[in-house]
Every structure is written in structure tokens, then in C-alpha cells.
Structure 1
């Protein structure tokens, strides 16, 4: 169970600036995805790891996934990166959280109870394990479809060796 409540203390001016900075950080990917998704879903950014080695990083596809969500294409978003939908939801929830704190002027506290409270230390290791498994599965699919080896061989690092 998750519960929310506002603290009786008010946010200081430093805390308000902090929340405003965090609000701008979490809203930037949402706004960028919306404004960059007006045409095809080619990302305006290149992955440095993929560009240098030919091997996609664990985050490759997240930008295109967010852009697909901005256009309302959920299945296409999932095809680019399965975590894009979860990242988008996290960003929207964080945006709402920081907005609520700024609007009310009070810190918002979130409390966990039940199984979530007992196992919260496992959340990040499990998320990391899922991300690693997902990335390895994506690499295995690229290998199986004969796309990974040519990408590695044609990369600057592959050309060097």
C-alpha cells in the first residue's frame, strides 16, 4: 500500500528552487519527446557506445520509445525499448509530485506499507537485473538476426582492429 500526505512545514526558498530544478529536469524529456516526434521517429541523438563499437547500450531506443509515446503509439514504443513506457510514467509521476509540492508549498511524503515496505531494498537490484536481462536478450536477438557482428566490424573500433 502506498499513502501520500503533505508535511505541515513549508518549503524553504532553497527547497523551492530545488523542486523547480527537478521539475525542469523531469519535464524536459517529456517536452523533447513531444516536440521531436513531429515526423518520423528517428532520434535526434546518437548513442556514443553504438557509434564507436557498433554495440547498442542498454538505453538505446529509449528516446525513440518516448517519442512514440508522445505520438500515442504504445506498441511502437514497446518495440523500441520496453522500459520507455515505464520511464514515461515515472517522469509524469515525478512531474506531478514536484508540481504538487510547488503549488502547495509543502513537502509531499510517500509512505510504503505491507510487502512494498518489507522488500523495498530489493527494488533496485531487481530492476537492474531486469535491465541487464533485457539488454542481453536484445543483443542475442541482434546476433541471431546477423545484425550485431556486421555492426561491430563496420564500427570505428572494428575498423581499427
Structure 2
């Protein structure tokens, strides 16, 4: 776990030793929100994307004074989940070849 961030360790990684698709995404998003993009990309490639989404969502929610400023479409969520799983599969494949695809 990152020493400056609170939270819990990943249960899947704790039980199996295999990181989940979102392991390190919170740390990556936090780094991107503080302007440290290189650290963000070190943790997870989706960190800057998640940070931009959070900022955009927040701005729209404040402007429209609604928690859900636009409807969530199943197709968009499906593509996002698919991309996240594909990225995870690539990282797993690289880690099985001996490369360090996940931070320790």
C-alpha cells in the first residue's frame, strides 16, 4: 500500500497474489489530480482518464446542480469495462513473462 494514501489492500491480490483490474487505480487517479502524470501512469494507465472524468463530472454536476448531470449509457460502461479488462489482461500477460507490469 502507498504510505501516504489511506485505504485497504486489494482483497483479490491479498488472497491470490493476482492484482485486480483496478489495482492501483485510486493511487493513479490521486497522482493525476495533483498534476503528477508520470507517477499516475506508473501506477495505472487509466489514472489520468479517471481524473479527467471526475473533474468533468464534477464541473457538470455543479453547473447543473444534479448528482447525475447526464445519463450513464450501458454501452459506454461496457466499453470502459472492456478496455479496463483488456489492459489488465495485457499487464497480467507481461507479468507472467517476467516483466514487472504491476508496481510492488
Pairwise TM-score range, normalised by the shorter structure: 0.7 to 0.9
Distance 1:53 1:75 in 2: 29
CA contact (8 A) 1:50 1:56 kept: yes
Tell me whether 1:67 sits opposite 2:30 in the alignment: yes
CA RMSD of aligned residues (A): 3.0
2:63 maps to 100
CA contact (8 A) 2:57 2:69 kept: no
Q: 1:76 to 1:108 in 2, by over 3 A?
A: closer
Q: How much does 1:129 deviate?
A: 2.2
Higher helix share: 1
Higher strand share: 1
Tell me whether 1:81 sits opposite 2:44 in the alignment: yes
CA contact (8 A) 1:41 1:67 kept: no
Q: Higher Cα Rg: structure 1 or 2? A: 1
1:56-108 deviation per Cα after TM superposition (whole angstroms, max 9, x unaligned)? 00000112102222332102211211111111111111111111123xx9x96
CA contact (8 A) 2:28 2:43 kept: yes
Secondary structure in 2 matching 1:64: helix
One of 141, 144, 161 as aligned partner of 2:94: 141
Q: How many residues align?
A: 97
Secondary structure in 1 matching 2:92: helix
Gaps of 5+ in 2: none
Tell me whether 1:44 sits opposite 2:17 in the alignment: no
CA contact (8 A) 1:78 1:84 kept: yes
CA contact (8 A) 1:77 1:85 kept: yes
Gaps of 5+ in 1: 1-39, 111-119, 149-161
